[in-house]
């Protein structure tokens, strides 16, 4: 087990090198850099000043030199300083994490609370009115872009009712309410369908009829057996969602001025703030590997038939 985990963490290294190199290359191909963006719209600036600023950040050096000096710094724990704010990249990044973590935790929790009971209900009441109603609602939710949901919530909950603040002021559950609700609505709509399909498939298996024939109460079969096997699929989905939420939800974070890593990344991309972008890419790669690893471990815990290392991939 320990060896397996270690091997998976070692696998992180090629992923990290590959993805950071790719993103490094991509930003350089773009042609414009932080200096161009900074002096854009400031009228004519002496070329000497621009060159000096560029040399100052090391942007005049060949591409590979830049990459290896960044990688070297990274390995010694120095991720550089932001081109724009001049602040330490690692500190900047870490300061944005709590907001994203809070939003991720709250919206996943709300999604679970909404989608699992309703999905199970729809499956149990298959082809009855309740099922149709739940499916219709989830269909509507699936057809609404999340930024439009955000607008609707802003209008009805904040402007009309005045219940919640329009944009966040600081890190609190109250300011997190709107972004959480927006994300949970979009995710629940997706999950409802999948929970329903998974449970329905499980309910149609022979052992359920067997249990019924032996006189086991329906509720017992549902919660003890059916839910247990359905959980495997649901957990995989949840893990993937957690992964992408931890990457920050660029649109939602920008709309609600939620100061998380998604907004940081979008700002950094528009300003060509390479060190921040690189930090973000490293963060995403780590999440990618960790989420996969945790899913595998959970699989193993829930279904011992799945042998780690044998059925991996």
Partner 1 sequence: MKKEPTVRVQKLRRDTLKARLILFSTLAILLLLASIFCEQLCPYDPYAQDLSIAKMAPSAEHVFGTDRYGRDMLSRVIVGAKTSIFSTLLLVAIITVIGTIVGVFAAWVGGWTDTILMRISDLFLAFPGLVFALAVAGVLGGGLHNAIIALAAISWPKFARIARSQTLAQKEMPYFRAAKLAGGSSMKTIVKHVLPNIMGPILVTSMLDIGTMMMELAGLSFLGLGAKPPAAEWGSMISDTRGLLQTAPWLTFAPGLAIFVSVMIFNLLGDTVRDYLDPKMRGGQRA
Interface residue with partner 1 among 68, 132, 139, 207 (CB under 8 A) is 139
**Residue 9 interacts with partner 1 (CB under 8 A)?**
no
* Minimum CB distance to partner 1, residue 194 (Å): 14
What end-to-end distance do the CA atoms of the chain give, in Å? Answer: 16
Give me 282's structure tokens. 């490293």
Distances (CA, A) of 176 to 105, 173, 248: 11, 5, 14
Within residues 245-304, the interface with partner 1 by CB under 8 A covers 247-248, 250-251, 254-255, 262, 265-266, 269-270, 277, 284, 288, 292
Binding to partner 1, residues 11-30 (CB under 8 A): 15, 19, 23, 26-27, 29-30
**Pick 1 or 213: Cβ nearer partner 1:** 213
Kindly identify the residues of this chain, within the stretch 236-255, that bind partner 1 according to CB under 8 A.
240, 243-244, 247-248, 250-251, 254-255
Say how far apart CA 232 and CA 246 lie, in whole Å.
Answer: 21
**Contact criterion met (CB below 8 Å) for 225 and 218:** no
Helix axes of 129-142 and 89-124: crossing angle, nearest 10 degrees: 150
Under the binding rule (CB under 8 A), the answer on residue 146 touching partner 1 is yes
Q: Which residues of 147-164 are buried (b: 16+ CB within 10 A; e: fewer)?
A: eebbeebbeebbeeeeeb
From 142, 163, 223, 309, residue interacting with partner 1 (rule: CB under 8 A): 142
Instruction: Please name which of 244, 265, 242, 243 lies closest in space to residue 254, comparing C-alpha atoms.
Output: 265
152 binding partner 1? (CB under 8 A): yes
The Cα 262–Cα 246 span in angstroms is 9
Give the 3-state secondary structure of residue 80: coil
- Beta carbon of residue 46, minimum distance to partner 1 (angstroms, whole number): 25
Q: Which residues bind partner 1 (CB under 8 A)?
A: 15, 19, 23, 26-27, 29-30, 32, 139-140, 142-148, 151-152, 154-155, 159, 201, 204, 209, 240, 243-244, 247-248, 250-251, 254-255, 262, 265-266, 269-270, 277, 284, 288, 292
């Amino acid at each position: 087990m320990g060896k397996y985990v270690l091997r998976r963490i070692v696998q992180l290294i090629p992923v990290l090198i590959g993805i950071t190199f790719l993103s490094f290359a991509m930003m350089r191909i773009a042609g414009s850099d932080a200096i161009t963006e900074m002096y854009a719209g400031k009228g004519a600036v002496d070329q000497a000043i621009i060159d000096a600023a560029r040399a100052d950040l090391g942007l005049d050096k060949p591409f590979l030199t830049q990459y290896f000096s960044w990688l070297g710094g990274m390995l010694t724990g120095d991720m550089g300083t932001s081109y724009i704010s001049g602040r330490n990249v690692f500190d900047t990044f870490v300061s944005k994490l709590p907001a994203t973590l809070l939003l991720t935790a709250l919206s996943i929790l709300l999604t679970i609370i909404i989608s699992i009971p309703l999905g199970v209900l729809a499956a149990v009441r298959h082809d009855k009115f309740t099922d149709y109603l739940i499916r219709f609602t989830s269909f509507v939710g699936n057809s609404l872009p999340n930024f439009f949901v955000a607008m609707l919530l802003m209008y009805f909950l904040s402007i009309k009712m005045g219940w919640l603040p329009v944009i966040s002021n600081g890190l609190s559950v109250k300011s997190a309410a709107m972004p959480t609700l927006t994300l949970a609505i979009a995710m629940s709509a997706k999950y409802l369908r999948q929970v329903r399909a998974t449970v329905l498939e499980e309910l149609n298996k022979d052992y359920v009829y067997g249990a019924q024939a032996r006189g086991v109460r329906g509720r017992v079969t549902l919660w003890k057996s059916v839910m247990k096997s359905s959980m495997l699929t649901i957990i995989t989905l949840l893990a993937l969602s957690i992964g992408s939420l931890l990457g920050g939800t660029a649109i939602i974070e920008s709309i609600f001025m939620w100061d998380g890593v998604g907004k940081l990344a979008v700002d950094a991309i528009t300003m060509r703030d390479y060190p921040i972008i690189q930090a973000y890419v490293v963060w995403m790669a780590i999440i990618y590997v960790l989420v996969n690893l945790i899913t595998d471990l959970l699989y193993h815990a829930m279904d011992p038939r799945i042998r780690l290392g044998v059925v991996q991939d």
